[in-house]
Amino acid sequence: MRILITGAAGFLGSHLCTRLIKDGHQVIGMDNFVTGNPDNLAHLAGEPGFQFIRHDVSDFIFVPGKVDAVMHFASPASPNPDSPYGYTNLPIQTMKAGALGTHNTLGVAHAHRARYLLASTSEIYGDPLEHPQSESYWGHVDPIGVRSVYDEAKRFAEALTMAYHRYHGVDTRIVRIFNTYGPNMRLDDGRVVPNLIQQALRHEPLTVYGDGQQTRSFCYVSDLIEGIVRLLLSDEHDPVNIGNPQETTILEFAKTINEIAGNPAGIVFKPASRLGDDPQRRRPDITRAKKILQWEPKITLEEGIRLTIPYFKEKMGLA
């Protein structure tokens, strides 16, 4: 296939490009570098099957030649207001990438009769009242909360994707991605994994927001990419959760990182209020992914952290 991947220079987009090139596809990567990094794609520069277009997906998209699949991953993805790359500091860009970017990429898929995959998120469940979250849960989102620029853009994107499927017959898929981590994450985007791993490697106390009793379920990137590729190749049109159901409190998570990195500096608690609607519990129900895609994650949290640390060491000049 000839596949357009938006958000190609980001964390997940760059892994997707690498995987799909390895699988023998042709890939057109698209990005405007608002949160991404061209270094993530440097290794693909000489690949005959890889092409890059610098473009903002909020503007009309023209792709020369035939496109067989479109994967829309372009969007800021970190909630952290302390980082200039957090979506709370890029609120309009985030809403445009989710709304106009989804419209434009669906337009490409429609025009080319290409298959389409939307990168959605567990954030569409908001601060969930059902636990774990299955795809049938409608969510609990504050439409004007701090995170709403991301959550509501993604909810709009899902609705628009289903509209193109139902009204125009576009061959769409929706993946609801739960917290994923690994190499190629931006060091300064403020998400919990880059923040805590770098603090641990610098032997500083790890910053835990609130009392650290909020939970997340972290998936290693290779597991996530495998699930997404299987979904792309499937004929499933309804949303599918992809994530690792191994749930941990943020406090336990911080302790695990300190242990693995051998950091004696401990933990410091920071106020949670700036994050307002920080979801208290999050864990994917992956029954559908198991059944439809014969997929489940293989890498444990401890293994994944060990696989991720060398990337941060290298980027921090500690390797």
Residues assigned a catalytic role: 150
Nearer to ligand UDP, 114 or 261 (CB): 261
Nearer to ligand NAD, 12 or 301 (CB): 12
Widest Cα–Cα separation across the chain: 58
- Residue pair 220/307 in contact by the 8 Å Cβ criterion: yes
C-alpha 227/C-alpha 20 separation (Å) is 13
**Is there binding between residue 13 and ligand NAD (CB under 6 A)?**
yes
**Is there binding between residue 257 and ligand UDP (CB under 6 A)?**
no
**Is there binding between residue 33 and ligand NAD (CB under 6 A)?**
yes
- Residue pair 285/241 in contact by the 8 Å Cβ criterion: yes
Nearer to ligand NAD, 34 or 162 (CB): 34
**Is there binding between residue 152 and ligand NAD (CB under 6 A)?**
no
Task: Judge residue 142's burial from the number of C-beta atoms within 10 Å of its C-beta, 0-12 exposed, 13-18 middle, 19 or more buried.
Answer: middle
**Is there binding between residue 299 and ligand NAD (CB under 6 A)?**
no
Interface residue with ligand NAD among 3, 177, 208, 229 (CB under 6 A) is 177
**Is there binding between residue 183 and ligand NAD (CB under 6 A)?**
no
Closest CA to 51 of 72, 24, 77, 30: 30
Query: Taking CA 248 as the corner, what is the angle to CA 245 and CA 254, rounded to the nearest 5 degrees?
Result: 140
**Is there binding between residue 35 and ligand NAD (CB under 6 A)?**
yes
C-alpha 25/C-alpha 27 separation (Å) is 6
Interface residue with ligand UDP among 6, 83, 184, 214 (CB under 6 A) is 214
Closest CA to 29 of 58, 8, 47: 8
C-alpha 189/C-alpha 75 separation (Å) is 13
Among ligand NAD, ligand UDP, none, what binds residue 208 when CB lies within 5 to 8 Å by partner kind? Answer: ligand UDP
Interface residue with ligand NAD among 74, 197, 289, 299 (CB under 6 A) is 74
Q: What is the SS3 assignment for 43? A: helix
Beta strands, E only, the chain? 2-6, 26-31, 50-54, 69-72, 115-121, 172-177, 180-181, 206-209, 215-217, 219-220, 240-242, 247-249, 267-270
Number of neighbouring beta carbons within 10 Å of residue 153: 27
**Is there binding between residue 105 and ligand NAD (CB under 6 A)?**
no
Buried-exposed string 58-87: b where 16+ CB fall within 10 A, e elsewhere: beebebeeebebbbbbbbbbbbbebbebbb
Among ligand UDP, ligand NAD, none, what binds residue 13 when CB lies within 5 to 8 Å by partner kind? Answer: ligand NAD
Among ligand UDP, ligand NAD, none, what binds residue 186 when CB lies within 5 to 8 Å by partner kind? Answer: ligand NAD
Report the site for ligand UDP in 72-111 (rule: CB under 6 A): 78-80
- Residue pair 28/7 in contact by the 8 Å Cβ criterion: no
Interface residue with ligand NAD among 4, 5, 9, 146 (CB under 6 A) is 9
Number of residues that bind ligand UDP (CB under 6 A): 15
Q: What is the DSSP letter of 24?
A: T
Tell the smallest beta-carbon distance from residue 39 to ligand UDP (Å). 21
Interface residue with ligand NAD among 3, 4, 5, 12 (CB under 6 A) is 12
Tell the smallest beta-carbon distance from residue 258 to ligand NAD (Å). 22
Please report, as ranges, the residues that interact with ligand UDP according to CB under 6 A.
Answer: 78-80, 179, 191-192, 195, 207-209, 214, 216, 250, 275, 278
Please report, as ranges, the residues that interact with ligand NAD according to CB under 6 A.
Answer: 6-7, 9-13, 31-36, 56-58, 73-77, 97, 101, 119, 121, 177, 179-180, 186
